[in-house]
A and B are shown apart, each in its own frame.
Chain A
């Protein structure tokens, strides 16, 4: 039983990292007032870019993760152009980007023949004296580098959003773009930058899934994790640390599925695989039942800012 628990909890962070990074990326762009549904698609772009780099260079997972970030940022420029410059409905634009990315990654991955090719990936990093502590060492101090990096990223983004001038301006653009505009802040630029910055984290999340976690690529491999990240943002009330907590919860849920089968407990396999989605819906129900509407949502979420239409 103890072995089961340790195995399960030790593999939870690996499953939690994509949720955490994607949700954080979404939080950045939604704090700037852009309703962002693109996570599922941009994670696919990151996943494909990461595996493509690994296969082309023959290794170098760190480079692959950076390429994944850049690729997702580049695609997110398209989304930024649609919603910030052309003021397209943000739901329609977000959905189009997701299905655009699904089509694009399926096409490129198949033509380049990157399907089902194993890569070496990233090894676990033992933080030496601490990793020797019995139970805790395995769970907390024997993870891969990106898992530790994720914690640092959370500190950095939290500090940026709450304590720096640009962070405060980004939030003001999301709360009241007309007032921010009157104060001389360029709403468009802050929104574009928030989208691109957030999308780089979403790309990292996708690259992490393919390069570090699964270590190969198949079509549509993110399997709805992007949508779960969108739900996590609502659950976290647009704040970074609760998003990390929610990501760990979903990491635990996702990690238990293979361990239950491995422990020889007979549960219908496909019904088991529904749990992350059902858990997400349950969490959303809990949020809806306990939270008053619109209390923590950025004030201008989903609304395009058109100075010429200001009333």
Chain B
């Protein structure tokens, strides 16, 4: 016996639109004016910051206290600290953004920073070269250290097809344990109970140039200028755009994909290595245990928010430096752990990434 009721008109009533029933409809936008995109970006940033402020409020810092701490950052002393902090952050962000431009997920920024610092410290500890050129030699050594550590992941990707996300992240842990091996062993300062190297001599440190500007900042500004030229005006930059736009097309027209990738990977690692050098030679003044803590995700965040543009990296790097210094203040005065900075960074990335959905799609309620 067939079920005739399925064909009867009554059964179709549930297909009829219910007048009180709303539903979400998604359209793909063809384009969106720039000011609207900026509006969405600003809105999502505001949402992210609001969530962060709310979490801080739950953790015991009222928004008023937070506001006064933030304004406090803009006095002379703190601004100097911000500028010192901005230098490594810009370099790390630059390293991340250059690698992301050709789709190489370099998440080993921390390990590359550590190796940059270790190579620079090696030049200082073994007293290589005359005092006049020592600092320059330390900088070069740090770039080589960072580049080599990053090239290892690039080599694994090209020759063994090891996913660079996993390789770079795991190499971070290897680098940390190598640093511990040195600092709890051969390189430990004999006069110190802490795991740290002997302090650098005055001529081995990045000096203050006056007006609160540390020479580390000059290094990072120079690197950003060079990277901006590389990315926007050089032949390699053009190759990078072709590779990221269409890999197989690039291969067909004869772009040297492998060579460009390896060079970019090396440059990315070198930026992070120099960031390590800047950190040990300006802020710390010696090799310490934790001079690269919290930089991996900062680099990712800076690259993501700046849309991999070197000039924007400088601006975002400065803002993240403000966040870092505020985080340090909160740590000292309110016992809020420094991982708070990472939490806020993650919230900002999530909210900004979500905003792209609304840039690309139009969401409507229809009846």
A and B form one complex: yes
Whether A227 pairs with B169 at a CB distance below 8 angstroms is yes
Number of A-B contacts (CB under 8 A): 142
| A285: interface (CB < 8 Å) | yes
Whether A271 pairs with B343 at a CB distance below 8 angstroms is no
| Residues of chain A contacted by B309 (CB below 8 angstroms) | none
Whether A284 pairs with B167 at a CB distance below 8 angstroms is yes
**C-alpha spacing A4/B339, complex, angstroms:** 40
| B27: interface (CB < 8 Å) | yes
Whether B160 pairs with A284 at a CB distance below 8 angstroms is yes
Whether B28 pairs with A308 at a CB distance below 8 angstroms is yes
CB closest chain-B residue, reference A101 = B346
Whether A106 pairs with B357 at a CB distance below 8 angstroms is no
Residues of A within 8 A of B (CB): 37, 78, 82, 86-89, 91-93, 95-97, 99-100, 102-104, 106-107, 110-111, 219, 223-224, 227-228, 230-231, 234, 268-271, 273-274, 277-278, 280-281, 284-285, 287-289, 293, 306, 308-309
| B166: interface (CB < 8 Å) | yes
Residue with the greatest number of chain A CB neighbours at <10 A, chosen from B160, B169, B343: B169
Whether B350 pairs with A284 at a CB distance below 8 angstroms is no
| Residues of chain B contacted by A219 (CB below 8 angstroms) | 337, 339
Of the candidates A82, A110, A293, the one whose C-beta lies within 8 Å of that of B353 is A82
Interface residues of B in 1-53 (CB under 8 A from A): 26-28
| B325: interface (CB < 8 Å) | no
Whether B163 pairs with A96 at a CB distance below 8 angstroms is no
| Residues of chain A contacted by B346 (CB below 8 angstroms) | 96-97, 99-100, 103
Q: Give the bracket for the number of chain B residues in contact with chain A.
A: 35 or more
A-B contact pairs, 27 of them (CB 8 A): A91-B165, A95-B297, A96-B346, A102-B342, A103-B342, A104-B343, A106-B340, A107-B59, A110-B337, A111-B60, A219-B337, A224-B169, A224-B172, A227-B166, A234-B163, A268-B185, A269-B184, A270-B178, A270-B185, A277-B171, A281-B162, A284-B160, A284-B163, A285-B156, A288-B162, A306-B26, A306-B28
| Residues of chain B contacted by A111 (CB below 8 angstroms) | 59-60
| B170: interface (CB < 8 Å) | yes
| B304: interface (CB < 8 Å) | yes
Q: Chain A's interface: helix, strand, loop or mixed, by majority?
A: helix
How does the 8 Å CB contact mask read for B336-367 relative to A, with 1 for contact and 0 for none?
Answer: 11011111111101100110110001000000
| Residues of chain B contacted by A97 (CB below 8 angstroms) | 346, 350
Whether A100 pairs with B350 at a CB distance below 8 angstroms is yes
| Residues of chain A contacted by B107 (CB below 8 angstroms) | 95
**C-alpha spacing A95/B342, complex, angstroms:** 11
A-B contacts besides A89-B353, A99-B345, A104-B343, 12 pairs, CB < 8 Å:
A87-B357, A88-B354, A95-B349, A99-B346, A103-B346, A111-B60, A219-B339, A270-B180, A271-B181, A277-B174, A284-B167, A308-B361
CB closest chain-B residue, reference A92 = B353
Whether A277 pairs with B28 at a CB distance below 8 angstroms is no
**C-alpha spacing A308/B336, complex, angstroms:** 45
Q: With A96-B349, A284-B156 in contact, do A102 and B339 touch (Cβ < 8 Å)? A: yes
Q: What's the minimum C-beta distance from B210 to chain A, rounded to whole angstroms?
A: 36
Whether B353 pairs with A93 at a CB distance below 8 angstroms is yes
| Residues of chain A contacted by B344 (CB below 8 angstroms) | 103
**C-alpha spacing A268/B186, complex, angstroms:** 11
How does the 8 Å CB contact mask read for B145-184 relative to A, with 1 for contact and 0 for none?
Answer: 0000000000010001111011101111110011011001
| B105: interface (CB < 8 Å) | yes
**C-alpha spacing A281/B166, complex, angstroms:** 8
**C-alpha spacing A96/B339, complex, angstroms:** 13
| Residues of chain A contacted by B353 (CB below 8 angstroms) | 82, 86, 88-89, 92-93, 96
CB closest chain-A residue, reference B354 = A86
How does the 8 Å CB contact mask read for B107-122 relative to A, with 1 for contact and 0 for none?
Answer: 1000000000000000
Q: With A88-B353, A92-B304 in contact, do A103 and B341 touch (Cβ < 8 Å)? A: yes
Q: Chain B's interface: helix, strand, loop or mixed, by majority?
A: helix
**C-alpha spacing A97/B353, complex, angstroms:** 12
Of the candidates B177, B304, B340, B345, the one whose C-beta lies within 8 Å of that of A107 is B340
| Residues of chain B contacted by A78 (CB below 8 angstroms) | 350
| B300: interface (CB < 8 Å) | yes
Residue with the greatest number of chain A CB neighbours at <10 A, chosen from B180, B184, B342, B345: B342
CB closest chain-B residue, reference A35 = B165
| Residues of chain A contacted by B347 (CB below 8 angstroms) | 100
Query: Which 8 A-B pairs have CB atoms at the shortest separation, nearest pair first?
Result: A103-B343, A106-B339, A100-B346, A288-B160, A288-B161, A270-B181, A103-B342, A86-B357
**C-alpha spacing A271/B174, complex, angstroms:** 8
| Residues of chain B contacted by A309 (CB below 8 angstroms) | 28
Q: What's the minimum C-beta distance from B271 to chain A, rounded to whole angstroms?
A: 19
| Residues of chain B contacted by A269 (CB below 8 angstroms) | 181, 184
**C-alpha spacing A268/B166, complex, angstroms:** 25
**C-alpha spacing A191/B115, complex, angstroms:** 40
Whether A231 pairs with B170 at a CB distance below 8 angstroms is yes
Whether B300 pairs with A274 at a CB distance below 8 angstroms is no
Interface residues of B in 261-302 (CB under 8 A from A): 296-297, 300
**C-alpha spacing A95/B105, complex, angstroms:** 11
Q: What's the minimum C-beta distance from B174 to chain A, rounded to whole angstroms?
A: 5
CB closest chain-A residue, reference B185 = A268
**C-alpha spacing A103/B341, complex, angstroms:** 7
Whether A100 pairs with B343 at a CB distance below 8 angstroms is yes
CB closest chain-A residue, reference B152 = A281
Q: What's the minimum C-beta distance from A269 to chain B, rounded to whole angstroms?
A: 8
**C-alpha spacing A99/B339, complex, angstroms:** 9
| Residues of chain B contacted by A234 (CB below 8 angstroms) | 163, 166
| Residues of chain A contacted by B169 (CB below 8 angstroms) | 224, 227
Whether B167 pairs with A281 at a CB distance below 8 angstroms is yes
Residue with the greatest number of chain A CB neighbours at <10 A, chosen from B161, B336, B345: B161
| Residues of chain B contacted by A268 (CB below 8 angstroms) | 181, 185
**C-alpha spacing A104/B162, complex, angstroms:** 31
| Residues of chain B contacted by A284 (CB below 8 angstroms) | 156, 160, 162-163, 166-167
**C-alpha spacing A272/B234, complex, angstroms:** 45
**C-alpha spacing A234/B164, complex, angstroms:** 13
Q: What's the minimum C-beta distance from A84 to chain B, rounded to whole angstroms?
A: 11
**C-alpha spacing A271/B185, complex, angstroms:** 11
| Residues of chain A contacted by B167 (CB below 8 angstroms) | 281, 284
Q: What's the minimum C-beta distance from B316 to chain A, rounded to whole angstroms?
A: 15
